[in-house]
Structure 1
């Protein structure tokens, strides 16, 4: 569960938040501009293992956050503990603990939803945003009624059920593997899921993010993002369709780039790390007053 750079080993960064202890893998050049990396479901910080070294080579420091519900010492009970403002607050606490006034923020899957939230609520703390796979929340909601996104998102309703999703996702049989393989996961990624999510008991916490959705504040997803933004989407993503991807531009009031990866599944950081790293670095270097990271 590490995105650590073997050439620049450092202890993980632990920091307090609401009586919990959260962890971030801190690696790369210590004097480089910081990039916060936010994973999605059902993965942890290792989802950035192929991307982070490329960012380090470009001169950037990375902080890969093991998010609440996943990190063993930060698994609160109750669905409300996983509302978006709490997840956003974890990222701000990370920046504060690392002594960073701001950072480039990158998120994949649910991590992208958190990244959108951080950029929308705290634009002064975000130099640039690179969101991967998940569109702006307002674009996603529009796509739910104007495209096939509602059908693609059937599992969100299923995850609201008590206990059954945990049992299915933790089953030792072939059912979870078949579902994940259908979304594009390789056998290696599925084994990582077994080791990092199932064996460590992270499944209930990860599901907590979905179960907090009914408690979302009305209108919270409508705010435009006003920081330089790149949105990266792949055309073989079975969970997220083109409808939300193409509407995201409407919700960014700043320099915006849309990067479409053809023939790629949902798992962009694992499948196309070099292209994703290029998109992140290009975005980071494009920001006014931002250098090269080295």
Structure 2
């Protein structure tokens, strides 16, 4: 059974879902745009049944209790700080970290800056930030795929995404996510200020620091039909991991891995954690 939690931190209250015994091995999940913690409902419940303590939280801007207005408050330092603040509040000195899409980017940075806190890292879809940055410079295909990141910083993006019953937002999911779940995401992001907060992740600007090699045991899962991330960055990601590394390629799967093939992903995750 999925539990619903409110995790109180110095930044505010994060909404979360959880499963498993309180003393189980802790696993923290980070969602992406334009989703929420419920994207991880299947693996959270399965891991809970397997004896892990699995928690997925609505990140900064997605949790109404942590929704600052200025884009500058959505920089990578703040996002990584939220991960540690939630883990600290849960009493976790070390934990396994799993991230998808933007949550994957935050997971990479957390693993690089705080390797002592992580047992393992699992990233779905999002390449290592350096592999992605290099691909955007040298690979025309990736440069075109990433153009949306700049486009979404414009001030009319909210109006465009929510027009006509949020048709643009719905179309983003490529009909790979259950309609009822898409309805839930649209409802959440239609609340006053919610979509602006989610888009502030893109408007915050590039991280100030420079990420280097990740040393923790890492599994990277990439799907061949991912519209956002091409093969160049995906295949180069292993160059940026010096710890034990596992690369899993899912054929004929879209960007929305956690919800399109939840059983496959959860099975890979359990193997990696063991």
Contact 2:32/2:102 (8 A) holds in 1 = yes
- RMSD of aligned residue pairs (Cα, Å): 1.7
**In structure 2, how many angstroms separate the alpha carbons of the residues matched to 1:192 and 1:21?**
20
Cα distance per residue 1:204-234 (max 9 Å; x no partner): 11101001124x2142x3x211100000010
* Gaps in structure 2 of 5+ consecutive residues: none
| Deviation (angstroms), 1:23 | 2.8
What's the counterpart of residue 157 of structure 1?
150
**In structure 1, how many angstroms separate the alpha carbons of the residues matched to 2:124 and 2:193?**
26
| Deviation (angstroms), 1:179 | 2.9
What's the counterpart of residue 269 of structure 1?
258
TM-score, with structure 1 as normaliser: 0.88
Where do 1:1-294 residues align within 5 Å? 5-6=1-2, 9=3, 11-18=4-11, 20-147=12-139, 148-162=141-155, 164-173=156-165, 175-177=167-169, 179-182=171-174, 184-199=176-191, 201-214=193-206, 216-219=207-210, 221=211, 223-285=212-274
Alpha carbons of structure 1 residues 59 and 200: separation in structure 2 relative to 1, 3 Å: farther
| Deviation (angstroms), 1:61 | 1.0
TM-score, with structure 2 as normaliser: 0.94
**In structure 2, how many angstroms separate the alpha carbons of the residues matched to 1:29 and 1:201?**
35
Contact 2:135/2:233 (8 A) holds in 1 = yes
**In structure 2, how many angstroms separate the alpha carbons of the residues matched to 1:258 and 1:231?**
5
Alpha carbons of structure 1 residues 112 and 181: separation in structure 2 relative to 1, 3 Å: closer
Number of residue pairs matched by the alignment: 273
Contact 1:43/1:196 (8 A) holds in 2 = no
Alpha carbons of structure 1 residues 107 and 200: separation in structure 2 relative to 1, 3 Å: farther
| Deviation (angstroms), 1:154 | 1.3
Runs of 4+ with deviation above 6 angstroms: none
**In structure 1, how many angstroms separate the alpha carbons of the residues matched to 2:24 and 2:67?**
31
| Deviation (angstroms), 1:97 | 0.6
Alpha carbons of structure 1 residues 119 and 183: separation in structure 2 relative to 1, 3 Å: farther
Alpha carbons of structure 1 residues 231 and 183: separation in structure 2 relative to 1, 3 Å: farther
**In structure 2, how many angstroms separate the alpha carbons of the residues matched to 1:184 and 1:241?**
18
**In structure 1, how many angstroms separate the alpha carbons of the residues matched to 2:6 and 2:253?**
33
**In structure 2, how many angstroms separate the alpha carbons of the residues matched to 1:178 and 1:29?**
36
